[in-house]
Chain A
Amino acid sequence: MKVIEAKNLVKRFGTFTAVDHISFEVEKGEIFGFLGANGAGKTTAMRMFCGLSKPTSGEGSVAGFDIKKHPEDIKKNIGYMSQKFSLYNDLKVWENIRLFAGIYGVSENQISIKTTELLQRLNFEQERETLVKDLPLGWKQKLSFSVSILHHPKVVFLDEPTGGVDPVTRRQFWELIYEAAADGITIFVTTHYMDEAEYCNRISIMVDGKIEALDTPKNLKQEFNASNMDEVFQQLARKATRKSD
């Protein structure tokens, strides 16, 4: 089953084409890495899939809903975790969980069960009453991810979720991602860490708004005759003419 489909998606801002005819499909339960240099158009593309931005032309669907016609239906079926930290700093850990669970229509008693479960899984029981702003960054990101999949969405979009996070916590973060994927949640993730790219089932690499490569990490390394993903990325990204931001 295809969870994300894109056919010739284009997004223009004035004369600038941020996303230039991209097409791909993502299967259910897949971990799909969405790579590209800064300014390559990753975030713009992701925002279109989340219903935050309307495509200029082309077609796409997420969780079976058209991204042009039914963005609000898409929003019920996805989770989203952005580059910018997206929990409320002035609310406590349990209050953030309660708020977002409530927004997605989780029932009152399910909320308390899920909160306890989530805190146990993350070993966060002591931090239940802590204000989110007092948590270390890595903890915040783990919490943020767990909150974004609390309502068991069909897809979760992660926009550079591990930026600035230490290697140990990043490892733990990816364990959470694998658990979610095993649960049937499709993962759509952007990252700048090439070791993380290796963890993905398939990756696409965007250069100047176009998808230049799309395959499993293993096949890509063979195709570009490279020993690791970093070399693959370097070869492709060097072709970019667009200035990074």
Chain B
Amino acid sequence: MLKYLLEKEFKQIIRNSFMPKIILIFPVMVLLVFPWAANFEIKNINLSVIDNDHSVYSNQLVQKVISSGYFRLTDVSANYKDALQSIETDKADLILEIPANFERDLVREQHSKLLISANTVNGTKGGLGSAYLSGIVADFSSQVRAKWIQVSSATSIPIINTVTQFRFNPQLSYKIFMVPALMVMLLTMLCGFLPALNIVGEKEAGTMEQINVTPITRFTFIISKLLPYWIIGFIVLSISFVIAYLIYGLRPEGHLSTIYFFAAIYILGVSGLGLVISNYSDTMQQAMFVMYFFMLILILMSGLFTPVISMPQWAQYITTVNPLKYFMQVMRLVYLKGSDISQLTTELTALGSFAIVFNLWAVLSYKKTV
């Protein structure tokens, strides 16, 4: 019986003027465009400099800041008030004020003060910008010290040098962080939402009633709806691996089999969620809206953009029931850290439970009778 239903589903998908195209274009677009556009790396920060010292050192410092590549010198102001003006007119994001006597203080008293002032309307840009700038200044000061130590070892000053090592994503590339998580989004849309919309579509067309008067069991019917999208999901996932490798040179540190294994469990869970929604929706419009609602919350609370750990406590509680969060963790860990199943037992338990709960709920709420 299942054979005939699957034949029907595949014919309908292939014959649909829209579906086969979207199935191909969707992953390509998401993986090619998104990582470049949705990017938290801050570059081209507009900098306004107030150099009250006009000394060799102050000049060197400004040169060093500019040559770091993060900043663009867009404004040189005579005083702080003018500099603030340039922030207000959006010409600058950050002010670096070098006090008069900067060089003298540095040489004589071995310390000097600088003012960094940031426009934090865009918090990320302001915060990261001033952090970059402080880093450069710190670097500059240690250079100066190093030079002095060479000159006169008499005035040796103990220095603690912190060396930060970035593991697993050495370039701190946001793309590498995003790509594995975007694959999760793809699977969610393809395997969670499409089959559910398909079922609601049959309700609207009236063919659902025809199916309900046949001896088809609800299990057979649901499987016939899900299986095609599971297959499509795995194909799309494989395409994504290829794109990630070709475009971003990204290949999983861990085993592909680990990813496929978790993907299978995840797909099961998310399609269960889709089915639950479809069972409670009578029209496409209703189903779309409910899904959009869930999708927005699940994505924002998944750690796709912002780390879960920096969310407030109550929000972190909510994320414990978000299947997207666990699968994104798995993808990032396997891709970047090379984790294997034994290190991912929490995620395995969570995703497994979601799969069981949603599918049980789906079968119980699917009614052949009214």
Q: Which residues of A contact B (CB under 8 A)?
A: 47, 50-54, 71-72, 75-76, 78, 80, 82, 84-91, 95, 98-100, 102-105, 157
The reply to whether B1 and A91 contact each other, CB–CB distance below 8 Å, is: no
Which residues of chain B from 202 to 218 have a CB within 8 Å of any chain A CB? 205-207, 209-210, 212-217
Q: How far apart sit A149 and B238, CA to CA, in the bound complex (Å)?
A: 45
What would 7 A/B residue contacts be, using CB atoms closer than 8 Å? A54-B369, A71-B368, A72-B217, A91-B11, A95-B11, A103-B215, A104-B215
Asked if B43 CB lies within 8 Å of chain A CBs, one says: no
Chain B residues closer than 8 Å to A78, beta-carbon distance: 213
The reply to whether B1 and A86 contact each other, CB–CB distance below 8 Å, is: no
Given known pairs A82-B206, A90-B16, the reply for A98 and B215 (CB within 8 Å) is no
The reply to whether A84 and B3 contact each other, CB–CB distance below 8 Å, is: no
Q: How far apart sit A157 and B213, CA to CA, in the bound complex (Å)?
A: 10
Chain B residues closer than 8 Å to A52, beta-carbon distance: 209, 212-213, 368-370
- Distance from B208 Cβ to chain A, minimum over Cβ atoms (Å): 10
Q: How far apart sit A174 and B1, CA to CA, in the bound complex (Å)?
A: 31
10 closest Cβ pairs, A-B complex: A102-B4, A84-B206, A86-B210, A80-B213, A76-B215, A75-B215, A50-B213, A53-B370, A103-B214, A99-B8
Q: How far apart sit A87 and B209, CA to CA, in the bound complex (Å)?
A: 11
The reply to whether A99 and B215 contact each other, CB–CB distance below 8 Å, is: no
The reply to whether B7 and A80 contact each other, CB–CB distance below 8 Å, is: no
Q: How far apart sit A26 and B7, CA to CA, in the bound complex (Å)?
A: 38
Closest partner residue, chain B, to A131 (CB atom): B15
The reply to whether A51 and B206 contact each other, CB–CB distance below 8 Å, is: no
The reply to whether A105 and B8 contact each other, CB–CB distance below 8 Å, is: no
The reply to whether B213 and A51 contact each other, CB–CB distance below 8 Å, is: yes
Contacts A71-B369, A86-B210, A87-B210 aside, 14 further interface pairs with beta carbons under 8 A come to A51-B368, A52-B213, A52-B369, A52-B370, A78-B213, A82-B209, A90-B15, A90-B16, A91-B11, A95-B8, A95-B11, A98-B7, A104-B215, A105-B1
The reply to whether B4 and A99 contact each other, CB–CB distance below 8 Å, is: yes
**Number of B residues with CB within 8 Å of any CB on chain A:** 24
Q: Is the interface of B mostly helix, strand, loop or mixed?
A: helix
The reply to whether A103 and B205 contact each other, CB–CB distance below 8 Å, is: no
Q: Which residues of B contact A (CB under 8 A)?
A: 1, 3-5, 7-8, 11-12, 15-16, 205-207, 209-210, 212-217, 368-370
- Distance from A94 Cβ to chain B, minimum over Cβ atoms (Å): 11
The reply to whether B8 and A88 contact each other, CB–CB distance below 8 Å, is: yes
Q: How far apart sit A51 and B217, CA to CA, in the bound complex (Å)?
A: 13
- Distance from B21 Cβ to chain A, minimum over Cβ atoms (Å): 16
Chain A residues closer than 8 Å to B210, beta-carbon distance: 80, 82, 86-87
Closest partner residue, chain A, to B213 (CB atom): A80
Q: How far apart sit A99 and B1, CA to CA, in the bound complex (Å)?
A: 9
Picked from B4, B206, B369, the residue with its CB within 8 Å of the CB of A85 is B206
Chain A residues closer than 8 Å to B8, beta-carbon distance: 88, 91, 95, 99
Chain B residues closer than 8 Å to A104, beta-carbon distance: 214-215
Q: How far apart sit A113 and B250, CA to CA, in the bound complex (Å)?
A: 55
The reply to whether A75 and B214 contact each other, CB–CB distance below 8 Å, is: yes
Closest partner residue, chain A, to B370 (CB atom): A53
- Distance from B141 Cβ to chain A, minimum over Cβ atoms (Å): 71
Picked from B7, B15, B370, the residue with its CB within 8 Å of the CB of A99 is B7
The reply to whether B207 and A88 contact each other, CB–CB distance below 8 Å, is: yes
Chain A residues closer than 8 Å to B370, beta-carbon distance: 47, 52-53
- Distance from A103 Cβ to chain B, minimum over Cβ atoms (Å): 5
Chain A residues closer than 8 Å to B368, beta-carbon distance: 51-52, 71
